[in-house]
Amino acid sequence: MPVIFAAAVEHASVLLALFLMIAAAKLMAEIFERLRQPAVVGEILAGVIIGPSVLGLVKPSELISIVAEIGVIFLLFMVGLETKPQSVYRVGKKALLVGTLGVILPFVAGYFIAMAWDGSFVEAMFIGAAMVATSVGITARVLGSMGLLDRETAKIILGAAVIDDILGLIILSIVSALSSGTVNYLELGKTAAMAIFFVVLVATVGSHVINKLAPRVRQLKLSKPFFNLGLILCLGLSVASIYVGVAAIIGAFLAGMALAEATEGNHKMHQLTSGVTEFLVPFFLVNIGMQLNIAVFRDWSVVLLAVIITVAAVLTKFVGCGLGAWGMSRREMAQVGVGMVPRGEVGIVVAQIGLSLAVITETFFAAVLFMAVATTLIAPPLIKMLYSEDKDQDGIDDVIVETDISEMYPRIG
Amino acid sequence: MPVIFAAAVEHASVLLALFLMIAAAKLMAEIFERLRQPAVVGEILAGVIIGPSVLGLVKPSELISIVAEIGVIFLLFMVGLETKPQSVYRVGKKALLVGTLGVILPFVAGYFIAMAWDGSFVEAMFIGAAMVATSVGITARVLGSMGLLDRETAKIILGAAVIDDILGLIILSIVSALSSGTVNYLELGKTAAMAIFFVVLVATVGSHVINKLAPRVRQLKLSKPFFNLGLILCLGLSVASIYVGVAAIIGAFLAGMALAEATEGNHKMHQLTSGVTEFLVPFFLVNIGMQLNIAVFRDWSVVLLAVIITVAAVLTKFVGCGLGAWGMSRREMAQVGVGMVPRGEVGIVVAQIGLSLAVITETFFAAVLFMAVATTLIAPPLIKMLYSEDKDQDGIDDVIVETDISEMYPRIG
């Protein structure tokens, strides 16, 4: 290769990584679909395989993590587009209870496991914090591909995940402050108030503003005006979210929800957005798998700790969130419980913060990372199973055709 | 903002840059559409405005340049999807002549201008090389938005751009070798042969392979099988292109062309791809504008040189490529000529290589950069004008409806 193309080859190595990630993801998705398993699991495993654990073809990098983040941002934006605000308000109380119980139980479990494992107080608080996070993207992806995002339990899971994220922010703020010695409760109160204010404001006012603007948007000379407005709103609210302290995906979800009514039945808008998510989401999934480095698990005590934490992570969310949905049928309670299990990228980020602040040991880091990836792999088959039974029973198939846009077109795309 | 989110805030600054770029691009696109000017010009100017030249809100960065490159890759992939191989073969000879004359004239002009401006021999060769490059993405974007990619002149421009890129590779290889003192003609021959072999092979065999595979692709369990195959092929051939020495966009274009027949009439595939391009292309356009730093032009001699080089760049491509289309009508010759004028990112890259090899001065670099951006801004209105007259004359409007997918859907997306 001519030496002059050094600059181009730098890009080439990035493009090569992206190519390997998407090719591996789609190959594994195809295999898992044939085995009647959720495609997401295949795509995450693709990351384990091409990442440092097995083949070492692609290394996690800052650039890849940003592409992955844009992927999950658009995934939640897309989910937001299919979520009318009213449908979330309706389940608001239940979501609050699900979110809260789903934070308390895992936190307490994580704290006591770490304490029992000779962790320090701050370390135990951090492990608790890492157990709290829900990666709602995974559940949304599975339910979306089954065309079930319009179910009541899906709304509860989405609402609870938002509450989860705010409570997680507060806990993480306290825990991080503890690690530096002092907690400034005034600052903390401000942070929490800001986050809650932002979410409530956008969730309640956003949709009205967009609905009022819609006739004007339609008159824009710009091609694809709604889609472009969506792109701007999605990125803008994602950035704003990070600045107020909550995850970017919360902003993206709110952006989608704000547009949900104005773009209802706008297939073109949904198809265009679907193109972006279809391209970018695999990087998000593969990147989760790539975080794992199996080499750490040569030490049996690490494996034992990882397994204990994982089992506790699954059970506490399942029980806590399931109980939060009290009053619904047993199956629905189980659906909500299992939908909140994946920790995914959120758990990984918390563990990374703990490591960077030097308050958790490598052993705990490895165990939490394992838990984050394992819960993300365990949940999708359970979600699929619990919702499929449902489908068989009440002939929900009609609804799928109505809501899953991808099914409305001939199967040639 | 809580200090713990340092990691998240790193991402936030990238997301903020992307948000500012797309918001500025779409605002300017809307303004230019209202002024009946090409939206691309508005989007490039958006980059000049938010970049170092005026507001300094966003700095060019490695990450942004990669997002921009992925944008232009998908743009050419999309153009490829609308280009059946046969239609390019048919104009092959003409494209060869257009491409060749469009390389010789600008190279000679650049060489002599630099020599007259007291440049060294190697410097003059480099300026010549920078004048050669065509940024076909710009022309493709303008013609695509007018629904005119199916015109014979469009095919000639696309074919000539591929030839242009190969000749550009050879010239750049020679010039770079000269800068280090010796030219290894054997190596050079190998590089050129590799590039030509790769392009010819993919262009001739690609479509047949895909057409044969199409029935099997349709049977895949994977959702959106053709779109996913397209993503993999697009990224894969882009990477392969860089490794054989030609631009990534050539590979992306060939990937699209290979799929053109198999996905003809597959609106879903086109809509999904369109979602990706619509999201990413603005970053490509804005990034071109952001490269410019007007501060360099305080020195009048730099301005003079920049203007001379720009005028020469426009005239030599217009005359050279126009003459290459000899035998067509005057208007068609002019269309081909003006379609090859934009130098865009390719000219910028060549200038950057020259600067990094320390063979061109800052003055020449600034002038070439100006030429690259200016030709890219000048061409679109001329392209629009020359093709619009055509449209009025022969009632080509029916064709637009058939070919521009965006027009087939209600104007609400």
Q: Which of B 178-237 lie inside 8 A of A, CB atoms?
A: 191, 218, 220-228, 231-232, 235-236
Alpha carbons A259 and A106: distance in angstroms, whole number: 34
Where do we find the tokens 């000048």? Answer: B378
Alpha carbons B138 and B75: distance in angstroms, whole number: 9
At residue A215, what is the residue type? Answer: P
Taking one residue from A and the other from B, the number of pairs with CB-CB distance under 8 angstroms is: 237
Give the residue ranges of chain B where pLDDT is below 70: 1-10, 389-413
At residue B356, what is the residue type? Answer: S
Q: Which of A 342-361 lie inside 8 A of B, CB atoms?
A: 349, 352-353, 356-357
Q: Which of A 127-156 lie inside 8 A of B, CB atoms?
A: 145
Q: Which of A 24-43 lie inside 8 A of B, CB atoms?
A: 26, 29-30, 33-34, 39
Q: Please tell me the number of Cα atoms within 13 Å of A78 on its side-chain side.
A: 33
Q: What is the pLDDT of residue A391?
A: 59
Indicate if the alpha-carbon torsion angle B38, B277, B291, B307 is positive or negative.
Answer: negative
In this complex, do A227 and B275 lie within 8 Å of one another by their Cβ atoms?
yes
The terminus-to-terminus CA distance of chain A in angstroms comes to 36
Tens of pLDDT, residue by residue over A351-392, are 888 887 888 888 898 899 899 889 999 999 999 999 986 655
In this complex, do A353 and B222 lie within 8 Å of one another by their Cβ atoms?
no
Among the four given CATH numbers 3.30.360.10, 1.20.1530.20, 3.30.565.10, 1.10.1040.10, the one describing domain B7-404 = 1.20.1530.20
Question: Are B74 and B252 within 8 A, CB to CB?
Answer: yes
Interface confidence, given as ipTM, is 0.86
Q: Which residues of B touch A72 (CB under 8 A)?
A: none
In this complex, do B268 and A272 lie within 8 Å of one another by their Cβ atoms?
no
**Domain locations in chain A as residue ranges:** 13-407
Give the residue ranges of chain A where pLDDT is below 70: 1-10, 389-413
In this complex, do B5 and A242 lie within 8 Å of one another by their Cβ atoms?
yes
B327 contacts: CB under 8 Å, gap ≥ 6 = B94
DSSP 8-state class, residue A409: S
Q: What is the pLDDT of residue B163?
A: 87
The alpha carbon of residue B17 is apart from the nearest alpha carbon of chain A, in Å, by 10
Closest-CA residue of chain A to B4 = A176
* Domain boundaries A13-407, CATH class: mainly alpha
- B388 C-beta neighbours (distance < 10 Å), count: 13
Host H or E run for residue A156: helix A152-179
In this complex, do B15 and A238 lie within 8 Å of one another by their Cβ atoms?
yes
Question: Are B137 and B249 within 8 A, CB to CB?
Answer: yes
Q: What is the pLDDT of residue A2?
A: 41
Q: What is the pLDDT of residue A191?
A: 82
- pTM score: 0.87
Of B239, B263, B412, the CB nearest to A15: B239
